[in-house]
Structure 1
């Protein structure tokens, strides 16, 4: 389904029927099509400014899924009845709320609260019950409208919700106040039990003040089990949130550290590890464990992503004591070890038997290998299997997974590009990705920029998709993170619809320096081509300003909010002030972020198609410099 097709539907009723059908698809609606849908909705209903009117009767038939996805700038125009429909949907299926950006979640929560409890009024327990999961995304001011006794009575429900950063930070502070749970240094086991996993909303310093007596072995184990259960749940995975490793370490410090400086570190048994978590223990403590205890807890060690390099080596050392040298590991033992295999040295990795499909795919799905280890794994497989890169089919490529980044760029060039397309009846090939590329495009690659570029080039070779400038947004979506390898020149020439086809994961994988790379073009409007022939990388300059960055402020402002949120702190560090403002503008769906308040929103980001954006951007930049 393309944007052009939607634009050609004349009847509003037919248009909404098609949109409804799209939103029922299990694959969801890709970002570029979502942007197109809501742009069309605004155009067709001839909507004036959002604050001037309410949504017309044409939209009364929108179902709750569409209402939930309504852009924030239109949210204030929903009727109270429509808002309550969304609230009911969120309570029944909170995962749909968590698919939205943090900004969107917060806006929806505040709009629902506005409907239930006007400003200047307190938030009752009944209102909290009605809001359900939306409570976790209220802002600081709204949170302070909740009476402390009401909040105290609601703690058990909050433990099952995703909590946005503003709400969690405020809640963590409130928990340490009277008449809630009071100062953490005065907590007993009752307060710890009452807080449950909400204890992680406290600061690390506050957690470290909780007395050891309040953290009994059973109480601590239950608390950590609750947190782990939440993190492994579907809602917990969608929720994300900050890393809790420092807070967890502070919580278990009384168990894993000696009670006095002059005493040796305690050596854990399996019960101790189960009562805490493997990463809580140092490499020395792991190395000194009894073999029987380590064996009983092997699955816990293999499944803990928090183990550092030293701890992984220590755990791997215990495994070698159990089973002997790696060259003798059986396939089922390698599968059991999982991520602990990162603790092997390069020579030991060479000794592993990798021709077993289960072993190869297990290693290919492990994140955290060093570059040298990646090289060893993939080289060992090629040597043991007697295969050349050109002979690998899509099954081999998917099994290799992350370890493909162990191949040099010149070796990656030998991958059979036909394996990046799918056969259809009659032996013909269609312009779509094979199962290999679909799988690889979902990986958070550790490849270098040169390696990613080679993988992307496989898609534009003869018989492939053709020049990048001709790709539709659906191609960018299908290839996923492989799009991060598109060269600078081609990226700088992408149009709005193409950019919106990039997956959020692909954006996060784009090497951070690319965001600051300057590109020179010869003159305005000429085609910029890759230096090497037949690469398929072509595009056009979009301004007369030279040099030009890979992603101009205008391009960055065209990101969907989900894409803009995916821009990493490392990437943001390479952006100019104008580029950062463009990303913030996109994150907030074209509305001013708190940092932008006081600046004009007419800084050239609203209209991609008009060439006057250059002048508007220049005026904006000058205005901020004066």
Structure 2
């Protein structure tokens, strides 16, 4: 039976609230009854008209189906977004024909941030597969490989990157200055730039060469930066480099690259930038003007130069200073001191100044914080977004805001809860239990994105609100989507609930929630079998304190997930391929598109 459009007329079975696995099960049963295999396969070959809507399918369904396709046709590759293409298994990529490989390569190069977001081992495997695919005839030169890969080159494994880059760095260095360099590649890049056959010793570098190297210079080790000649480093050039770096970090690729850094790497990056500043004349005299600082990387200037800024410039740039994530706690305290010198004591600070403080606000003493007016919602919203408060300060924030607005815990609606943000953890667990469940569940999608500093008792009280009848119900019935919505709050589930989680539910546990689970509870809750269902991004976030309490079998399960090179950051649950793709059954992606398209057509009103 066929529809008017010539596609197979399938029943409209996609769920409103149900699971996609139920849909696939029903569709698989329907096809066995109604459609001979040969006819179904013929129809699949003519499904190209539906490829345009593929990217509107549920994300997990797409990833699962991609895991099943061993030879994706070029038409499908052209329609998939780079975000989805980055999830194609490296083994499949290595077997693609060169035409398909170039389609994949061009798409990934157009939005390389999705490659930067992949786990390291998966990234290495994908790029190695691309090189193998492109060079299937064995005729590509080193230069051709580098040109073809373009800004994906730094994502190669170290040895491969060195082979491709070492002989042509001198001629083509201008082409690679805007690339993302993960830590392992940055170190190799530094070696290549300092090699005698490249640009001679860094002590002999001239200003013209520095301009060629551009933002690659701050990627060099601190010791190398200290050896550079001061005559080659002008103040104007340093300001330009910091400005370019700031703009690059705001680009999609730069943002993904920066977020992939760990705390040590971020600190190291800041130290290299400060070293470069010290080599120029910028560290002498007064601090930067606000228009220069606003277009630069604030933390690179260091606290001494920021404190040396003119009062007007400092206050004009207060919001930019308060938003910098890399300024240390001790430096924040000094900068807040300058604010109080200029604007007066905490009780006299205007709402406009308070809203601009950002991270600086976390350095108020407890007595100072009690003097701050917390009635204004905009002020509380800014304070609630900061995560560096102490436990006592969280209590002062929550109590001050609720007292100033004459509202009790049971009267807090979703807007109040979102405004409190991190300060929600300043409420006693008993008060949390009095919050209206419907209001909290409306706000939990936002609150669940925060690394809440709540106690175990507080988080548990919050989860009980969502398990009530009429809300999300019993945890045993929670779907993957519910766990994703709960976010970090799911860390408050008790050990019995966590130990009963099945594959689909574990897939919904966010890495943030995993990291916030109390170590003892983590060890007694998750069996080795459950840990093998973790994704790479869940396994990598497990804390040292959590690992210390795991037994040998549990640790081996975690190591298995982390070492499996094919691990996907978003969708990879267990070692078994059948388990990993339990949502897909034996169906191809084209069939899923057919379901979606037919159901959508049936739901549209007649013209």
Shorter-chain-normalised TM-score: which range? 0.7 to 0.9
1:380 counterpart = 2:400:
yes
- Cα deviation per residue 1:326-364 (whole Å; 9 max; x = unaligned)? 222222221222222122211222222222221121111
8 Å CA contact 1:417, 1:459 repeated in 2: yes
Report deviation, 1:379.
Answer: 1.2
- Cα deviation per residue 1:19-71 (whole Å; 9 max; x = unaligned)? 96775129x614xx4564356x36xxxxxxxxxxxx35889745444544223
8 Å CA contact 1:354, 1:360 repeated in 2: yes
1:245 counterpart = 2:267:
yes
In structure 2, relative to structure 1, the CA distance for the partners of 1:67 and 1:284 (3 Å cut) is closer
Tell me: higher relative CO, structure 1 or 2? Use CA pairs within 8 A at least 6 residues apart.
Answer: 2
Q: State how far apart, in whole Å, the 1-side matches of 2:300 and 2:415 are.
A: 38
Residue 467 of structure 1: aligned partner? 474
Report deviation, 1:244.
Answer: 3.2
SS of corresponding position for 2:450: coil
Q: Can you give the 5+ residue segments of structure 1 that lack an aligned partner in the other structure?
A: 43-54, 260-264, 422-433, 519-549, 594-603, 611-626
Residue 384 of structure 2: aligned partner? 364
Residue 486 of structure 1: aligned partner? 493
1:198 counterpart = 2:198:
no
1:25 counterpart = 2:75:
no
Residue 455 of structure 2: aligned partner? 448
8 Å CA contact 2:271, 2:300 repeated in 1: yes
Residue 262 of structure 1: aligned partner? none
> Relative to total residues, which structure has the larger helix share, 1 or 2?
2
8 Å CA contact 1:377, 1:403 repeated in 2: yes
Structure 1 residues 193-592: aligned runs within 5 Å: 193-239=211-257, 240-242=259-261, 243-253=265-275, 255=277, 268-271=286-289, 274=293, 277-280=297-300, 286-287=306-307, 289-421=309-441, 434=442, 436-515=443-522, 517-518=523-524, 550-567=525-542, 571-572=546-547, 575-576=550-551, 578-587=553-562, 591=566
1:155 counterpart = 2:185:
no
Q: State how far apart, in whole Å, the 2-side matches of 1:589 and 1:574 are.
A: 23
Residue 585 of structure 2: aligned partner? none
Report deviation, 1:136.
Answer: 1.9
Report deviation, 1:113.
Answer: 1.3
Report deviation, 1:392.
Answer: 0.4
Give the alignment partner of residue 137 of structure 1, picking from 155, 162, 165: 155
Q: State how far apart, in whole Å, the 1-side matches of 2:277 and 2:71 are.
A: 62
In structure 2, relative to structure 1, the CA distance for the partners of 1:309 and 1:56 (3 Å cut) is closer
Give the alignment partner of residue 187 of structure 2, picking from 169, 187, 195: 169
Q: State how far apart, in whole Å, the 2-side matches of 1:462 and 1:297 are.
A: 49
Q: State how far apart, in whole Å, the 2-side matches of 1:570 and 1:121 are.
A: 51
Q: State how far apart, in whole Å, the 2-side matches of 1:570 and 1:129 are.
A: 45
Report deviation, 1:493.
Answer: 1.7
What TM-score do you get using the length of structure 1 for normalisation? Answer: 0.76
In structure 2, relative to structure 1, the CA distance for the partners of 1:566 and 1:226 (3 Å cut) is farther
1:606 counterpart = 2:576:
yes
8 Å CA contact 1:123, 1:146 repeated in 2: no
Q: State how far apart, in whole Å, the 1-side matches of 2:302 and 2:85 are.
A: 50
Q: State how far apart, in whole Å, the 2-side matches of 1:81 and 1:120 are.
A: 15
How many pairs align? 534
What TM-score do you get using the length of structure 2 for normalisation? Answer: 0.78
8 Å CA contact 2:358, 2:383 repeated in 1: yes
Structure 1 residues 30-109: aligned runs within 5 Å: 30=60, 33=61, 36-38=64-66, 41=68, 55=70, 61=76, 63-65=79-81, 67-109=85-127
Q: Which moved further from structure 2: 576-585 or 164-173?
A: 576-585
In structure 2, relative to structure 1, the CA distance for the partners of 1:590 and 1:254 (3 Å cut) is closer
8 Å CA contact 1:212, 1:254 repeated in 2: no
Query: For the aligned residues, what is the CA RMSD?
Result: 3.6
In structure 2, relative to structure 1, the CA distance for the partners of 1:287 and 1:221 (3 Å cut) is closer
SS of corresponding position for 2:466: coil
In structure 2, relative to structure 1, the CA distance for the partners of 1:293 and 1:70 (3 Å cut) is closer
Q: State how far apart, in whole Å, the 2-side matches of 1:29 and 1:87 are.
A: 21
SS of corresponding position for 2:22: helix
In structure 2, relative to structure 1, the CA distance for the partners of 1:507 and 1:465 (3 Å cut) is same
8 Å CA contact 1:360, 1:399 repeated in 2: yes
8 Å CA contact 1:71, 1:589 repeated in 2: no
Q: State how far apart, in whole Å, the 2-side matches of 1:558 and 1:25 are.
A: 26
Residue 8 of structure 2: aligned partner? none
Q: Can you give the 5+ residue segments of structure 2 that lack an aligned partner in the other structure?
A: 1-18, 32-39, 569-573, 581-607
